[in-house]
Amino acid sequence: ETGVTQTPRHLVMGMTNKKSLKCEQHLGHNAMYWYKQSAKKPLELMFVYNFKEQTENNSVPSRFSPECPNSSHLFLHLHTLQPEDSALYLCASSPTASSLYEQYFGPGTRLTVT
């Protein structure tokens, strides 16, 4: 596989569930990102990892917990979510966090919280 992949593509979960989103990049990049995309709103940056270290937490509620075990993989652990957390969650990668001239996005996970 090439590029940035995300699994699952669709997820429905109840407010008391715990689930995880996975992102994998095959581009040899060192920076990875989580974005939230809601209808009629700009993309919201959630987290940034650069060389496996978290460099940005954009005031994201603690019910979202990121994990970056290596430069190729990024997870977003979800627990006790709210209905307003329903959105498309996009993963992206770039060569480094200071090289946004080339950022690649995954297809996203469509999350529905019931």
* Footprint of another protein (CB under 8 A): 3-4, 40-43, 45, 48, 50, 55-56, 90, 97-108
Q: Which is nearer to another protein, 3 or 14 (CB)?
A: 3
Q: Which is nearer to another protein, 7 or 15 (CB)?
A: 7
Q: Which is nearer to another protein, 39 or 84 (CB)?
A: 39
Q: Which is nearer to another protein, 66 or 108 (CB)?
A: 108
Q: Please say whether the beta carbons of 6 and 93 come within 8 A.
A: no
CB of 42 to another protein, least distance (A): 4
CB of 79 to another protein, least distance (A): 26
CB of 15 to another protein, least distance (A): 26
First to last CA, the chain: 32
CB of 44 to another protein, least distance (A): 9
